[in-house]
Amino acid sequence: MKFVKKYHFNQKKKDASTPIRMRIILGIILVLFSMLIIQLAYLQLGYGSRFEAEVQKTDENIVSTNVPRGVMYDSRGRVLVGNQAKNAITYTKDTSVTSQKTYTISNRLSQYISLDNEKPTSRQLYDYYLANPKNLQKETDRLTHRQRYDKSGDALPTATIYQNLLKQVSREKKHFTQREKTAALIYNKISGAYTLSTIYIKNEDLTDKEIAVVGEHLAELPGVGIGTDWTRDYPNGKSIQSIIGSVSTEKAGLPDDNLQYYLTQGYSRNDRVGTSYLEQEYESILKGSKAKSQVSVKNDNVEQTKTIYPGKTGASLILTLDAKYQQEVEAALKKVYAQAEADGAATYSSGAYAVAMNPNTGAVLAISGINHDPKTNQNTDDALGVINRSFVMGSAVKGATVAGGLMSGAITPSDSTLPDTPIYLPSTPVKKSVYPIGTFSALDAQTALEVSSNIYMMHLAMRWVKASYVPHKYISMPDDSFDILRRNFSMFGLGQKTGVDLPGESSGIKGRSFNDQHQILSGSLLDLAYGNYDAYTPIQMVQYISTIANGGYRMRPYLVKSIGETSKSGKRVSIYYNTPSDVQLSIPWTNAQLAVIKEGMYRVVHGTNAWGTAHALKDVKPSISGKTGTAETFYYDPDHPGNKNAPELINSTFVGFSPSDNPKIAVAIIFPGLDPEKEGHYALDVAKAMFTDYFNLNK
């Protein structure tokens, strides 16, 4: 009974306290609502106009647009590479575009243009298909539970689900019409565009009808426009492109290996840049200054575009090359090389190279090359091989050897006679000249150059480095003997980069100086003395012969003569920079010493000795001085590098200048890897054409 009374008492107490708690809670709620209303009123009255202005605010962004690249001219003002303007369908992506809007624009635009030269990938087709909201929902509903949720029942990441959708669609092998394929390509291009950037939807083979139809429907194609694009044009032929280089496409954009560099220089990822040779070397000059427009964006829509800087076309380059002479040198090299192939002399040859230079300035007058693949028997243009391929040049370098001997005091202009007896080293085949042993008992320097005596150069080198030599028994040389000869060769540019204004120049190849026991390779040093050891590039050879031709000044070769600005009419170039002649080194010889070398090189062509090597050029006018060369080599098969049965071959070379008494042009020609049984006189044939054509064009 007491328990029942107690229960009723407690129940009454609880019932009495309930309204009190409710009133407290309701009071708190009323206070919070009051505070909220007061805050809203404060914001509306105090900051309403500011928020309204923020909503209506127009953002202003600066957008850059590419300009045409600079033009390249030859030395006589002919256009070597220019820009061909062409119409284009463009698209500028605004800030509010969605995949559904992109899908709609792509479908509409695909009704008016075709992209027959492009084929969409499977991924591009599937992305386009899933951009349709109905298709996306249908395919999503067909996914299994495992394809949408993980083991815990949580939804998989959106990217994972999308990949599952792509796999599912790919298994369905859907068919797409040609118009849908075009729409897929357009969708892919628009989707990949950066916000407020302008891209080209179609800039190749755009017809007048397509331009007209798109123009009529621009109102229903937000962001789409009709603009102008440009492409590189080669009115004097594309063979020179191997020197001029290439420009990347908008699709390729910036090269991956230099991506960060270009981005720090203000480039966009889809900008076109020079990717090789002159286009790359002079990129900063050729690219010009981008046009800048101020784009006003309001409520995520482009309201207005205003040009604030029209941009500036890239600077023009005037090259040292003469387009007509360049074409004639290329034609001569190809004609003679074709003859060598027909004669069976070039079966294992790696090609042929020729370069001409003004010896007094360093201006490159023509540069040409052929790369031959013995496996496929295919020839390709390879003018850049002149600066980046190295060959053992043979006797053509003997002018530098004689110069070193004279300047070292080993011989003098009045006393340069040395015995012409072969060199007999222990356990080594006899080292001699091409002509029979005993043909000459002794030679002076001029005659040694004329008949191309290897023996003379070896005796000169031994006297020069102060070697000890007993035939058949003994030879000893100082450890710095290679350094002595190579320092001399380097004065003429042999064995080091010339500094020509093209990327990728090689410095040549140096052979070993010591064996594994650190013993000097005496026989190899003797080979070096007559040009049968180290390898040099053709551009080094023309720099070397130019140094002799001009009296001792090593000139830096260059291809860009001037930089200027082309007028809007395209008919005039205002020059604001001329490349100065750059003397890299002055050879410290006397006039008498130089006269010995020049007389010897004159006699190579005009001498009367039966063993003279370039008499075929004797009748060419103006007169030619020069030096031939032959070096032993072998065919290297990259698939069988250790092949001991590789055929022995020769490199045939010629360097020379003309006129002999007042040189205007110097040349270097190399035919590497010829059959020694069918050597012929191919290098001399090319030299004859190069000299004759030059003076015919420069009377």
Q: Cβ distance 629 to 394 under 8 Å?
A: yes
| Four-CA torsion 18, 24, 27, 33, nearest 10 degrees | -100
What are the C-alpha distances in Å from 16 to residues 4, 27, 28? 19, 18, 20
CB 558 within 8 A of CB 500: yes
Q: What is the pairing mode between strands 72-73 and 316-319?
A: parallel
Residue 273, token pair as written in the block: 């840049």
Q: What is the rounded CA–CA span in Å between residue 446 and residue 450?
A: 6
Distance CA 320, CA 323 (A): 9
Length of the chain: 699
Among left, alpha and beta (phi > 0; psi -120 to 50; other), residue 666 is beta
The identity of residue 238, as a single letter, is K
| Residue 395 among the catalytic residues | yes
CA distance 610 to 147: 89
Could you tell me the CA-to-CA distances from 27 to 31, 32, 39, 122, 470 in Å, in that order?
6, 9, 18, 65, 122
Q: In the block, which residue shows the tokens 């328990």?
A: 3
665-674 and 351-357 as β-strands: parallel, antiparallel, unpaired? antiparallel
In angstroms, the CA 690 to CA 695 distance is 9
DSSP 547-586: HHHTTSEEEPPBSEEEEEEE-TTSS-EEEEEEPPP-EEEE
Give, in order, the Cα–Cα distances in Å from 328 to each of 55, 365, 377, 380, 689: 69, 12, 24, 17, 8
DSSP labels, 414-435: TB--EE-PPB--TTS--B--SS
Neighbours of 514 (CB within 10 A): 12
- The closest of 484, 480, 442 to 459, measured between CA atoms, is 442
Asked, as a colleague might, if the bond just before 413 is cis with ω within 30 of 0, I would say: no
Q: Are 215 and 156 in contact (CB under 8 A)?
A: no
State the catalytic residue, choosing from 395, 524, 546, 652.
Answer: 395
SS (H, E, C) 49-68: HHHHHHHHCEEEEEEEECCC
Contact predicate 362/581, CB 8 Å: yes
> Among 229, 232, 223, which Cα is nearest to 91's?
223
The four Cα atoms 580, 583, 584, 587 give a dihedral, to 10 degrees, of 170
Could you write out the DSSP letters of every residue in 323-348? HHHHHHHHHHHHHHHHHHHHTTS-TT
Beta bridge mates, 351: 371
Inter-residue contact 245 to 280 (CB < 8 Å): yes
The phi and psi torsions of 573 (rounded to 5 degrees) equal -120, 125
> In the 8-state DSSP scheme, what is residue 471?
T
CA 209 vs. chain centroid, Å, equals 38
Q: Cα angle at 205 between 200 and 211, to 5 degrees?
A: 70
What positions carry a catalytic annotation? 395
